[in-house]
Amino acid sequence: MPTPAQNKVRYGLKNVHYALITENNGTITYGTPEALLGAISISFSATTARKILAADDSYYWVAESLANYTGDMSIAQIPDEFRADCLGEQTDTSGVKYETNAPVTARFALLFEFDGDDHKTRHVLYNCTASKPAIAGQTVNPDDGPYPSTGTETITITAASRPDTLVKARCKPSDTVTVNNTETNIYDTWFISVFVPTLAA
């Protein structure tokens, strides 16, 4: 099968999902991915850890490893389900939503898709935590007419490595896996269950 062309440009964001993590004795399993509707933008930066050995008046040995990715996700309005699952929000018997000062410990995989000129690439960050969003709003300007300016909410997300060092993966439409002599297109099931690659030795 010929290798598909690589995208020259990237645009668009859609199909954002999250899958809750359960860890038992160092073994991570993922829940069913849930849609996170209303995502507007995602931007992550890599943070690296560097070790340097100086010798002979120079950098004799340098090693870099990925520490984590940290970034922001802008959403039209954070769904109540995500607030409960990942941000620690609770509901009392009357239906009122509330928060306490308990630390947020929920971890999840974050899945999403970018469009491109040749094919849509799907991504997953395997071990994420999210900070609680700021509380912000603004008054409506009567000059805006029947369509006032809308606000957004922003979540800061940190994607760290799993115990097995896995951090992220991406998938093209042509990517497949063979299980029990049956070839399965990974791309088609990307948002049905979290795919975990076989790591190189």
- pLDDT of 135 reads 74
Distances (CA, A) of 108 to 31, 92, 96, 137, 168: 9, 24, 25, 28, 12
For residue 168, how many other CB atoms are within 10 A of its CB?
18
Q: Where are the domains of the chain?
A: 10-189
**Distance, CA of 71 to CA of 46 (rounded, Å):** 9
pLDDT for 118: 58
Q: 23-61 pLDDT, tens per residue?
A: 988 889 999 999 999 999 998 888 876 677 777 767 666
Instruction: For the chain, give the mean pLDDT.
Output: 82
Q: Report which of residues 138 and 89 the model is more confident about.
A: 89
28 or 146, which is more confident? 28
Percent of residues, the chain, with pLDDT higher than 70: 77
- Whether the predicted pLDDT of 148 surpasses 70: no
The per-residue pLDDT for 68 is 85
pLDDT at 8 over 60: no
What is the average pLDDT across 129-151?
Answer: 74
Please answer whether residues 170 and 156 qualify as being in contact, where contact means their C-beta atoms are separated by less than 8 angstroms. no
Q: Is pTM, for the whole model, over 0.85? A: no
Angle (nearest 5°) at CA 113 between 43 and 80:
75
pLDDT of residue 7: 43
Instruction: Please answer whether residues 73 and 13 qualify as being in contact, where contact means their C-beta atoms are separated by less than 8 angstroms.
Output: no
Beta carbons within 8 Å of 88's beta carbon, 6+ residues apart: 99, 100, 102, 103, 104, 105, 106, 132
Measure the CA–CA gap between 20 and 29, rounded to whole angstroms. Answer: 8
